[in-house]
Structures are given as structure tokens and as C-alpha cells.
Amino acid sequence: MAIIKVANSSKKDAIANNFSKGVANYLSHSQVQKESAEKLLEIAKNSVISLPKGTILEIGCGTGFVTKGLIKQFPDHFFDIIDISEEMLNYCANNLQISEAEKELIQFRKIDGERVKAEPHTYAAIISSFTVQWFEDIVNSLNRLINMLQPGGILLLAFPNHRSFPEWKKMCQELNLPFTRNQLPNTEEVIRKLSIPPHKIHLLEGDYTMNYENAADFFRSLKIIGAGLNLKQEKLSIPEMKRLINYWNSQCYPDQVEVSYDVTFLLIKLI
């Protein structure tokens, strides 16, 4: 299971470095990602009766939430497992707990999902959970990935959409502070702009609510797992951040701070 490396852009290097730093704490601070991965695998199990022969590409394996399930569900396929973070990739490769025969069917590559290159009709399936929201050009990137699918192949994605974190947004609006959450995909807009061959689309959305002792713990949790990188030009100053945290806490006292994720599950099957 050798790991192949491909260089990233400077912005993507920052993303990779952040997630690499968070690998040790990812499992204990990524409940929404874990639950979304379980839902994604459930959709795959219930919706995908059969796949064409060929390779399954997983983009952004992380610590292996989805990877383990895919290997069980599709034991006869070869797997191309990629992640932008070498540490995440190594963790996934070293902790799968699979047989030597199964290891022979897996290739691990350190590569950005937007930089994957393949001939048309290469993959039987392309699957990704909580990764495509980091793409710089999600529509063109997804179009390229769809073009890599075999007839009958599937693109299966889970990602937090633009409706996520309404509580954070509300606090910023009430304080007249910039809402500095990274831009997240608008699902309907993305689907509308895709150039897809004859296909079937299945679209689901899931709401997940996380509770934190205070607002600072929420922001700390994002940083701990590597998801706290601010890609926006506009950032809060330290006094503004303290003001936001204190105000958010005051609006929730004595209860915990609630933060909502709106997650899109998108299945596109070529016909």
C-alpha cells in the first residue's frame, strides 16, 4: 500500500497542513463528520444495487470513516484512496484493519481532489464525504469528476451546505460583525450548473446539531480537527472575536451553545 504524492497549490497546502495537525484529535472531535459518513454509506447500500467493474475513487479519506465501509460494501473493486493531507492518509492506511488480500486492492495517493486526472470512463464510483466544500471551483471540478465515471457509475457526495451555522450568522448580524464562516456550497445552484450526461439524481439533506459548553469551545473544535482555517479575506480582530464569543454565551446561558450543520447528500447515477 505505497503512498503516491502529488504537489498542491499554496492555499491547498494550508488546508492540508491544518488537517495534518488535527489528525490526532480528529476521531474525538468530528461527530458530525462520523454521522454523515454513516449516512453516506447507508445511501450507498440502499441505492446502489450494482456498480460497473472498475475502480472506486474516494476523495478525502480523512481517518477512514467512509473507507472502511466502502471496502466492506464493494469487496470486488479496486480502490483509489486519496487525501490532501499526508498524515490523514497515513492514519487511514495504517488503521483500516483489513486483510493482506484486501490491501492488494487499494492504492493510496496524496493528492488534491481537484487535481485528479484520469481518462473518461475510468471510475465505477467517485465518493467523498466532507471534502468538496474545500474545492476552489466546485462546479467545474465536479463536472470533470463526472466525466471520469463509467456508464452506470455513481458520484456520491456529502458536504455541509450554505445553510450551516445559522446560529453563528445570527450572532454576527446582531452585533453588526462580519460573518467569517468560509463559503459553503449552495446545493441547488451547484446542481443547476452541472453539465451531466443522462443521469438520475437523488438528493437528501440532514440536519445535525452539536452542543458545546460555550462558543469558544465551538471555534476551538473546528481548529482542533483542522477545519478552522479561514479562507476569507475578512477576519475578526481579537477584540471582535472576544465580543462575539461573550455575546453568544450570554444569549445561551445557562444552556449550552447549539450549532447546526445542514448537510447535503447527493447521489448522481449515470445511465
Cα–Cα dist 172/26, whole Å = 27
Average pLDDT over residues 126-148: 95
According to the per-residue pLDDT averaged within each range, which of 17-21, 98-102, 125-129, 216-220 is highest? 125-129
Across the range 224-237, mean pLDDT stands at 78
For residue 101, the model assigns a pLDDT of 83
Confidence grade of residue 198 (pLDDT, cut at 50, 70, 90): confident
Query: What class, spelled out in words, does domain 3-163+183-211+261-270 have in CATH?
Result: alpha beta
CB 23 within 8 A of CB 229: no
In which band, very low, low, confident or very high, does the pLDDT at 46 lie, cut at 50, 70 and 90? confident
Residue 9 confidence (pLDDT)? 55
- Looking at residue 214, what DSSP letter applies? S
| Residues making up the chain, counted from first to last | 271
Q: Report the share of the chain in percent with pLDDT over 90.
A: 64
Question: 114: closest CA among 62, 175, 60, 67?
Answer: 60
Q: Is 24 a residue whose pLDDT tops 70?
A: no
**Residue 95: C-alpha distances to residues 78, 88, 98 (Å):** 18, 11, 9
- CA 1/CA 105 separation, integer angstroms: 9
In our burial notation (b when 16+ CB lie closer than 10 A, e otherwise), range 11-47 reads ebeebbbbbbebbeebbebbebbbbbbebbbebbeee
Mean pLDDT throughout 203-224? 92
Q: How confident is the model at residue 27 (pLDDT cuts 50, 70, 90)?
A: low
pLDDT score of 97: 83
